[in-house]
Amino acid sequence: MRRLLTPNYAIIPVTGDILLKEPWASSCALIVFPGGADLGYCRTLNGEGNRLIDQFVHRGGAYLGFCAGGYYGSKFCEFEVGNEKLEVVGDRELAFFPGVCRGGAFAGFAYNSEEGARAAEIKVGREWLESEAPDRFRSYYNGGGVFVDAEKCRESGIEVLASYAGDLAVDGGEGKAAIVYCKVGEGAAILTGPHPEFAPIWSMFAAVNLDRRTHRPEIVDPIRMDDHKRTAFLKACLKKLGLAVNQELNAVPCLSRLHLSSVTPSDVQGLVDSWKDIVVSDDGEEYIKGENDTFHLGKPSRWSISSLAKTLPDFTCEKTNEEAGEEGDRILDYSMIVKHMVVHDQAYPSFKETPYFNHYAFFANLRHYQSLSKSSSEEFGKFLMYGEVVTSTNTMLEK
């Protein structure tokens, strides 16, 4: 997902509290519900949360539900009926698909396991997608459902984007719909049973790292062979939801350092001193630990190797294009990565440090503006925190 949508969109993991309490809809293009189990979604979002999601989609937004997210976006969920340990049956409030999502489509599912996983062959309904979509591809599958009688729901705005090619363990009604498109007011939803978003990378599979050398080569190898087809299909789905998709896969760039400066450089230290109540020391290094992010404070010339090694994530930018692209598919928790803030209290950041932004020109123009302004505007723009690749600016500043 990141490789297909970066840099057109920021992909940010959110919690139920954010969906319930934050004004997310105005800046959101797509809300994605991943796999797992949908009862947790129900417990958190039934009522007000689902009302907000439904309103967002009806007003032109897009919903993408993978596996559990597919069950959750249907009117009725049937999962492992008759299995006392696994059975889940009940209405779902969003009801983007106006019928039953029934699963598992294939037998053998077990939570937190690859026991029932497989490389499911998917037959694409190309009449509903752009020409780049493949005829068939093999996709990771583990517990997803079939959208019952989806072929009969065309008058309700339902399009079958893909079907299971193999025999199913449950009754799918007319057809074996694996992935459906649902027109919802001014917006739309795509619901899936399989996982077309899963790349053939060992660390990507469910709760267990799946390595062909020691686990399930009969799953990994077919998915790897069809990776380009899978990517083309996913790209076509995102386009159908109205998103701007990259023509080529882009590696997700690494976070850059943050640079704190001021129109008068010596004022920066005063600002940092005012933070003394929230600055903590650890092994001789200074940090600010916020609600969401942790910032490491340092001067341009005093970055310790031990500090950098301790706070770097377990990947670097010095990778091949293929490796970088694979890392880009990983779901990273950016709140766990320490953000490095360079405190420039002697001079502005150099051109080498910020090649895409000229601090000298910015502050020169700021001084010129202040000299022309009749109002008291000396505080406006006095301090600047700049970063070339950052996470959510709102989150960094507010939390």
What is the predicted pLDDT for the residue at 220?
84
The Cα 281–Cα 171 span in angstroms is 61
Beta strands in the chain (DSSP E): 30-33, 62-66, 74-79, 88-91, 97-103, 118-124, 136-141, 145-147, 158-164, 177-184, 187-192, 258-262, 279-282, 285-289, 294-298, 339-343, 383-387
- How would you label 351-381 residue by residue, b for 16+ Cβ within 10 Å and e otherwise? eebbeeeebeebbeebeeebeeeeeeeeeeb
Buried b (16+ CB within 10 A) or exposed e, 260-287: bbbbebeebeeebeeeeeeeeeeeebbb
pLDDT of residue 201: 59
Residue-level pLDDT, tens digit, the chain, 399 residues:
778 887 788 888 899 999 999 999 999 999 999 998 999 999 999 999 999 999 999 999 999 999 999 999 999 999 999 999 999 999 999 999 999 999 999 999 988 888 889 999 999 998 898 878 999 999 999 999 999 999 999 999 999 999 999 899 999 999 999 999 999 999 999 999 999 998 765 444 443 344 555 457 888 889 889 999 999 999 999 999 999 998 776 566 678 899 999 999 999 999 999 998 898 988 888 998 888 888 998 888 654 444 444 444 444 344 444 444 444 445 556 667 888 999 999 999 988 889 989 999 999 998 888 888 766 666 778 899 999 888 777 777 776
Q: Which domains does the chain show, CATH number per domain?
A: 2-240 (3.40.50.880), 258-398 (no CATH)
| pTM as predicted | 0.70
| No. of helices (H) and no. of strands (E), the chain | 12, 17
pLDDT in the model for residue 166: 87
Helix residue ranges, H only, the chain: 2-5, 16-21, 39-45, 48-58, 68-72, 217-225, 227-240, 267-273, 305-311, 321-328, 359-372, 393-398
Instruction: Tell me which residue of 195, 205, 7 sits closest to 112, measured CA to CA.
Output: 205
pLDDT on residue 113: 83
Amino acid 390: pLDDT: 82
Given its phi and psi angles, is residue 233 left (phi above 0), alpha (psi -120 to 50 degrees) or beta?
alpha
